[in-house]
Structure 1
């Protein structure tokens, strides 16, 4: 729903208005026109203590969220539209259309509608769906295509409980998008995904508790991550593991909490944190699928809070990173895309399954270099 309130709204305290801001009875038509225009626009104007009321297009933007769950005949897609504005430095809803639900036989049918109009800025997939069906490669390709056609990629996340609950919850869209934004890695989850090689996929997982938190509480909630192999869910990574995995993939992060710290310690402020984290990764391999050896070099640059030294971070990242890599080897998954260092040497012979088998017995050495600024 777009506002078309283009006529100026009456100022508060104007002498020709009553106390409730409406023209008095018998007012001339020139005073009634702005009010009529604003009423037709439905929440198109906003009161301000020190300035004139302005039409909606100048105050915010339309935010569309879609939730995907199991439904009759296939999928149930619930969509909501919000009008948002910045208040107190945070995105807030000040008007919303009634959410609507539609049934589709396939995800392609829903995506086709988005291609004809505008795709949602945020797409949430219910946890029950991915636990039963996984995350199909065709969905990923359709979402990637939306980004190319429309010049922006919708944010994507799996949510605890039903996606419809998130869509219908006040602040669900803004809260979910804020969590993805503060995680950094979750803003472009499909960017490096290549279905041709059967890439393993990592998607952010938003806990239901985020719906009931606001302000400082919501900023202390960090998304977990779901790992998919052959389009099926294989494991849930903790918030700390998801951050570390993202760093090992070479992503830049707004923050990195001391690896191994649980959510309770982080919320209580007992963990040390790096800010404005830049992660760079170099991978070298001996090119042998029978006895593969790989060397992973992780270089981290960040702002320090001064609680720990670069040397301490180096040892911690090396320890926790090696443990994470071993667990991925046991699962025979490669979200780090280590196989890219080998694939080019086996053109026509390399397959994802052949690499998974080689990865499970590979000797992988992790080296870490940490450069901190603003601390010791």
Structure 2
């Protein structure tokens, strides 16, 4: 079902991962995803990062299967082009600070009046309304507001994660909401407004911890951080091992496999947990990780190696599952993260995202502009101007 979304068109006004995520998934599923890129934003990225040009030509995974048009929405000629794009589109996704799209004449109220069929998805830091509406922020701040950052390392001092947790969560929630709205439109014929707050998306990360107590205020940062049935352990070679043997049969296998059956009953006594942690750490530090993995896998425990992103991407698991794909790009072959789910037996049709503005002519032709009209628009500066015109 690699073409499950054939015939669906998405206008992607995003600049960051949360807003780009729905188009990434939809593009892999066959949707025509058109990135609408402001020349000013393209210039800002190039100025801030000298290596941006090479990466721009390779395009990251989440810009895959997307075409690109550059235009300045505040340019006097922009409305004609934007209306043509909006009339054809099914979905618009944007991740600007609340109020920015409206200032460019592209707010939901204005767009929905002329294009009531359109599903309009806004991804922002703290939502389109509420006490922090309009506040700027990124991934760690959303984790902080959602109660998750305080529990990431189980100590009183929170630590920033090394991956984009809030970005991916907000993007995944936006994808679900967009597809639900698309299904609803099949029945009603009308689009809708979707409001995704990164901070909202992070609160469910704490719902299990919150559900374990009748007094959430009493929940400390380390409560549940160490449980005798699991942990992260350093082995003799400095590599790390993760264990999650929560169910009693797995716990017994784990203790037997490491030669510490004497520890089996210790998990029933919370007062002994600190000693239990020390004993497991001491035992696992005696051998290299590969040796322990061979033993623990043979015993059918839940032990796994702690891998770096590069190690994970090139692991036999990810390669075997098809999660690591190599695509040809203008700067050579690039390995990317594939679609993180399967629909039936068909592999998704993947192609690298195109550089900013490289599809402008073909996109305009698709929505009815002649070569002559496109040339006139090009001469007007619509596709290159970085100045605010309104």
The normalised TM-score by structure 2 is 0.23
The normalised TM-score by structure 1 is 0.24
Name whichever structure is richer in strand by fraction.
Answer: 1
Name whichever structure is richer in helix by fraction.
Answer: 2
Structure with larger RCO (C-alpha < 8 A, sep 6+): 2
